[in-house]
Amino acid sequence: MKNSTWSGRFKKGLDEDVLEFSESVSVDHLLFDCDIKVCIAHAEMLGECKIITKRESITLIKGLKAVQKKYDSGKLSLSIKYEDVHMNIEQALTKEVGDLGKKIHMGRSRNDLVATDFRLYLRESSTLIIDKLRDIRYALAVASYNNSETIFPGYTHLQLAQPVTFGHHLLAWHDMLARDEQRMEQTKDRLNILPLGSAALSGTPYNINRKTVAKKLGFKSVSTNSMDSVSDRDFVCDFAYTCSMVMMHLSRMSEELVFWMNTHIKLVDIDEAFCTGSSIMPQKKNPDVPELIRGKSAAVIGSLSSLFVLLKGLPLTYNRDLQEDKTIMLEALESVTSCLNLMPRLISTMKVNKDRALAFSKQDFSNATDLADYLSMKGVPFRTSHEIVGNIVKYAESKKISLNEIPLGIFKKFSSSITKDVYDAIDIEKSIHSKKALGSTSPSNVKKQAKKILVSLKPYGYVQI
Ligand code: ARG
């Protein structure tokens, strides 16, 4: 089959199998809207710079808008016959406006076009991801506010360490995602550079104005080297890295949800709508959504390695290998957005079992550090306090009692600094309320921090509580 856009020097048509093998329209059709926007900006500039006439420019733009309309209404379907979305659009444009359509490719090539379209697409995707991250942050801030007093076991090494407030735990999740949001803003900023006008690799002799194209498309600057412009995919790696971080965080959150849902733990219950049953065991309620989020993170994180491997051996400038960047990234992007979509409702509908959380929090001498802090506040050096409390714990363990059940007389045998106010210091609720240093777990801190987040989200239209 002959491809009219580049087949001039060929005697034979492209092998059917090769055509199927090499087409990218099945993936890059997603770039359709971006390609039209880029083509319109380019056609406008060609007219402004008098490379084509004003009239021709207007006709091209009208034609491109008509192509978009046809595509949106299902009247235009893309064909692998034209390889990729760019050539499909050029073909459709030429059908729309006649031979003039063939002028659209002056001063550009598909190499800079695809790089431009993809930057634009990822820029729009980053805005979408940022919005979705905000939705989750909002859900977390609300849930934290409502759980600022809920006592919850805090772990290190997955062993009970110290009680925290559940709100504090959720705010830890929040902060991970706040970093992701910031990282995505930076990624978006970094990719916002226009490669168009670099043409195939060496630039162009036409008197084009790349700066106006950048302005029209909202790019903050233009690339400075045509060879780098057409072969650079750092922006895709940046994007994949940022997405990987998002997924790594969602996966960690999911892992905790799965753990909390465990039959023996039952600290948190996620809504039935996010669980499935078993085809054989009638009693089962499985946390499939968090499991799938944890699972989907694998391919997204993998996309970063795939991109590095794709790029690491490529000589300058454009190589067809680069076409694979879209398959890798767009699939990963689909996973990220689907996970981000579910997270806000997963969070806002989950229920924490407060009684169990409190009971668990009191187990296993989780207030031992409070006792050591108490001694140190009375002037005992911390290392010494640590040792004394170690001995007290050993004693309590042998008597099978908790620290709160040790009589004052016995306490005094371990340290004369202990007086009757010790019982307040090791009371879990009281101790949590006393942790007021910046970033600590006290309910008042959590409430304040959750409120601060909610207020910061107000300009985006989130309802305040
Ligand atoms: N479909 C191609 C891609 O995604 C567009 C660029 C093609 N350039 C070329 N010289 N064959 O990379």
Residue with tokens 């444009």: 93
Is 278 known to be catalytic?
Answer: yes
Residue 84 Cα: closest atom of ligand 1: 1
Q: Is the CB–ligand 1 distance for residue 114 below 6 Å?
A: yes
In the predicted model, is pLDDT for residue 345 greater than 90? yes
* Per-residue confidence band for 4, with pLDDT thresholds at 50, 70 and 90: low
Determine whether the shortest distance from the Cβ of 110 to ligand 1 is under 6 A: yes
Average pLDDT over residues 158-165: 96
Q: Nearest C-alpha to atom 3 of ligand 1 is from which residue?
A: 323
Closest ligand 1 atom number to CA of residue 24: 1
What is the per-residue pLDDT for 408?
A: 97
- CATH T-level assignment (fold) for domain 111-359: Fumarase C; Chain A, domain 2 (1.20.200)
Given 73, 157, 264, 398, the catalytic residue: 157
Q: Which CATH number applies to 365-425: 1.10.40.30, 3.20.20.80, 2.102.10.10, 3.40.50.2300?
A: 1.10.40.30
pLDDT value of position 329 = 98
Reported as a pLDDT band with limits 50, 70 and 90, residue 275 is: confident
pTM exceeds 0.85 for this model: yes
Q: Supply the pLDDT for residue 267.
A: 98
Q: Is residue 222 predicted with pLDDT exceeding 90?
A: yes
- Catalytic position from the list 4, 7, 278, 444: 278
- For residues 160-197, b (16+ Cβ closer than 10 Å) or e, as one string? bebbbbbbbbbbbbbebbbebbebbeebbeebbbbbbb
Q: What are the residue ranges of CATH 1.20.200.10 in the chain?
A: 111-359
CATH 1.10.275.10 range(s) for the chain read: 7-106
112 lines ligand 1 (CB under 6 A): no
pLDDT at 335: 98
Return the best residue to mutate from 14, 83, 84 for the ligand 1 pocket (most ligand atoms within 8 A of CB). Answer: 84
CB distance 323 to ligand 1 below 6 Å: yes
> In whole angstroms, what is the distance from residue 226 CA to residue 115 CA?
12
Q: Is 168 a catalytic residue?
A: no
Q: What are the pLDDT digits (tens) for 290-313?
A: 999 999 999 999 999 999 999 999
Q: DSSP for 318-341?
A: --GGGGHHHHHHHHHHHHHHHHHH
Q: Distance between alpha carbon 210 and the CA centroid of its chain, in Å?
A: 32
pLDDT tens, 382-421? Answer: 999 999 999 999 999 999 999 999 999 999 999 999 999 9
Whether CATH 3.30.2320.30 fits 7-106? no
Residues of the chain with CATH 1.10.40.30: 365-425
Q: Is the CB of 64 under 6 A from ligand 1?
A: no
